[in-house]
Structure 1
C-alpha cells in the first residue's frame, strides 16, 4: 500500500511542475496534495512543525513571487488595468490553445490588443506586452524554484 501512496505523492509533485506550463493546474495545491497523502496515508507523526511552517511560508512566498513579478514588470512598462486583465484571460485561454506555447503567445497578443485599445502607440503597447511576457517567465521560474524547495523540505524531513 505504501508503494501506491508513494507513486501518488511523486505523481502529485510531477503534476505540480506541469502546472507551471498549464496554469489551469494548481501547482502548489498538487504539492500540498502530495504532502497530505503522505501525512494521512503513510505517517501522521513524521513531518515536524518546522517543515509545516516552511511549507506554509514557501506557499505564501510562491504567491507573492508570482504577483510581484507581474506587478513589477507590467507597471514599470506602463501597463493598464485592462492589460493586466487581458494577461490573466490570455493565460487561461492560452492553456487550451496550442499548448504549451499558448500561455506565452495568447497573453502577449491580448495584452498588445488591450493596450492598443487604450489608445497607446504600437511601441508602447508592444513594450507592455513584452513586459507581460517577461513577468510570466520570471514568475514561472521563481515558482519552479520555490516548488522545488518545498519538495526538498518535505523530502529532507521524511528521510532524516
Structure 2
C-alpha cells in the first residue's frame, strides 16, 4: 500500500508541474493531492499544519490563476470589455483545438473586447491585450514555482521517512 500511494503521489506531483503550463489542469491543487497521498500512507505521521497551509496556498493560486490575467489587462489600461474579453478568450482558447490556444485566447479576447469598446484606438487595445498576456505568463510562472516547491516538500517527506519505503 505504501508503494502504491508513493507512486500515485509522485504521479500527481509530475501532473501538477505539467498542469502549471496547461490551464486545463490545476497544477498546484494536483500537486497538493500528491502531498496528501504521501501523508495517507499508514506509517507516515500526518502534519496537519503542512497540509493546511499548502492547501490554502494551492487554492489561492488556483483562484489567482483566473484573476491575474484580467488584472493585467486592467493594469495596462484595459476596460471592462477587455477584462471580459480576456476571461471569455481564456475559456474559448482552452476549448479550441489549436496549439497554444490557452495563450492566444486571452490575448485575442482582450484585443477584441477593447476593439469593441473603442474601434479607433488600436494602440490602447494592443496594450491591454499585451497586459493580458503578461498576466497569463505571470500566473503560469507562479503556478510552476509553487508546484516545484511542493515537489521539493514531497521529497523532504519521503527522505524523512526513508526507512518506511526502502
Normalised by the size of structure 2, how large is the TM-score? 0.79
In structure 2, the residue matched to 1:70 is 69
Matches within 5 A, 1:78-93: 78-93=77-92
2:78 counterpart SS class: coil
Partner of residue 154, structure 1: 154
Superposed CA offset, 1:112-137 (max 9, x none):
01110011511000000011001100
Which position in structure 2 is the counterpart of 1:9?
Answer: 9
Point out where structure 2 has 5 or more consecutive residues left out of the alignment: 161-166
Q: Following TM superposition, by how much is the alpha carbon of 1:108 offset from its aligned partner in structure 2, in angstroms? A: 1.0
Deviations 1:26-76 (A, max 9, x none): 222212322232233x13742323422441343255247546643552222
Distance in 2 between the 1:58 and 1:44 partners?
26
Q: Which segment is superposed worse, 118-127 or 80-89?
A: 80-89
Distance 1:44 1:70, change over 3 A: farther
What CA RMSD, in Å, does the superposition of the two structures yield over aligned residues? Answer: 2.5
Q: Comparing 84-93 with 58-67, which one deviates more in the overlay? A: 58-67
CA distance in structure 2 between the aligned counterparts of 1:5 and 1:49, rounded to whole angstroms: 18
Q: Are 1:136 and 2:136 counterparts? A: yes
Are residues 44 and 66 of structure 1, via their aligned partners in 2, closer, same or farther at CA, if it must alter by over 3 Å?
A: farther
Q: Does 1:115 align with 2:114?
A: yes
Q: Give 1:100 shift.
A: 4.9
- Alpha-carbon distance change, 147 to 26 in structure 1, aligned in 2, over 3 angstroms: same
Q: TM-score, normalised by structure 1?
A: 0.82
Residues 96 and 65 of structure 1: CA distance in aligned 2, closer, same or farther (over 3 Å) = closer
Aligned to 2:39: 39
